Amino acid sequence: MFAPQFGYHRASSVAEAGELLRSNPGAKLLAGGHSLIPVLKLRLAAPPALIDIGRLAELRGIAVDGGSLRLGALTTHAELAASPELQRHAPALAQAASVIGDPAVRNRGTIGGNVAHADPASDLPTVLVALGAAFEIAGAGGERTVPAAEFFQGMMATALGDGDLLTAVVLPARPPGQGQAYVKFAHPASRYAVIGVAAALTVSDGACTAAAVAVGGLVPVPLRAPSVEGALAGGPVAADALAAAADRVAADLGDDLIGDVFASAEYRRAVAAVWVRRALEAAAQAA
């Protein structure tokens, strides 16, 4: 299927991209194109114009600054997966990027496009919610930073408004003693997450002193699992304790579970705890 006709503008700077967005109402930003082009071809959207930001070097790269990481919005999944800085300071994010789609998707798809598209089956949003990331946004009113927990607002809906451009993702570097992991039940064809779980456990003397757990693919937004986190805090990281904590995820899911032809809502609810347990075991092992 062919995309509907659209105008095309290539921005040479973030500032120019902003001007182009304002002078072309309804226009869409084009980054790696691996979500937007399929959307156009399926005629799910028909923007009058695309603003191509794909060559803006100022939006690329990974920087470590003291205790935090700053990831340019155009950093590709392959660059995230291969980054020694990310493997060291945010290994769950590098793991998640390494299991996205296939090499073609990872070489073109960007972290900015991935989170802006906000597909509940995406991998990176789940990790970014677990790790307490924030999103730097340039808009008509200036720049602002939105925490991940407020950024994802519904199925394919985010805090980005008309004229907004996501410039970077910032997240804290892994503190000493913290183990991180991302595991997913991948759709066998697309590799999208049917269920994805990110866990970060800080362990001291065999006890969990802090826990952050998020699940994706289950409800329309990536979700923190406070019942699981609460069951872990202060307790041992032995296998039976991790399994008992994982079982608590049912209490965090609510009634809005996603179901589709591949995996029903009932199935997702039934196996969610299995994937949470696997993530907890891997994070505890890494701690």
Ligand X SMILES: Cc1cc2nc3c(=O)[nH]c(=O)nc-3n(C[C@H](O)[C@H](O)[C@H](O)COP(=O)(O)OP(=O)(O)OC[C@H]3O[C@@H](n4cnc5c(N)ncnc54)[C@H](O)[C@@H]3O)c2cc1C
Q: Tell me which residues touch ligand X (CB under 6 A).
A: 28-36, 38, 73, 100-101, 105, 108-110, 112-114, 116-117, 122-124, 160, 165-166, 190-192
Which residue type is seen at 4?
P
For the bound state, the minimum distance from the C-beta of residue 190 to ligand X, rounded and expressed in Å, comes to 5
For the bound state, the minimum distance from the C-beta of residue 99 to ligand X, rounded and expressed in Å, comes to 7
Terminal CA-CA length for the chain = 48
Nearest to 246 by CA among 213, 205, 204: 213
- What is residue 211's DSSP assignment? E
Which residue type is seen at 283?
A
Alpha helices in 10-83 (DSSP H): 14-23, 36-41, 77-82
Tell me how long the chain is: 287
**Residue number with CB closer to ligand X (104 or 239):** 104
**Residue number with CB closer to ligand X (102 or 205):** 102
For the bound state, the minimum distance from the C-beta of residue 164 to ligand X, rounded and expressed in Å, comes to 6
Nearest to 97 by CA among 200, 36, 87: 87
For the bound state, the minimum distance from the C-beta of residue 139 to ligand X, rounded and expressed in Å, comes to 10
For the bound state, the minimum distance from the C-beta of residue 220 to ligand X, rounded and expressed in Å, comes to 15
Instruction: Check: CB of residue 194 under 8 Å from CB of residue 219.
Output: no
Nearest to 222 by CA among 142, 101, 120, 96: 120
**Residue number with CB closer to ligand X (105 or 171):** 105
For the bound state, the minimum distance from the C-beta of residue 276 to ligand X, rounded and expressed in Å, comes to 19
**Residue number with CB closer to ligand X (145 or 190):** 190
**Residue number with CB closer to ligand X (34 or 224):** 34
Instruction: Check: CB of residue 121 under 8 Å from CB of residue 216.
Output: yes
**Residue number with CB closer to ligand X (179 or 222):** 222
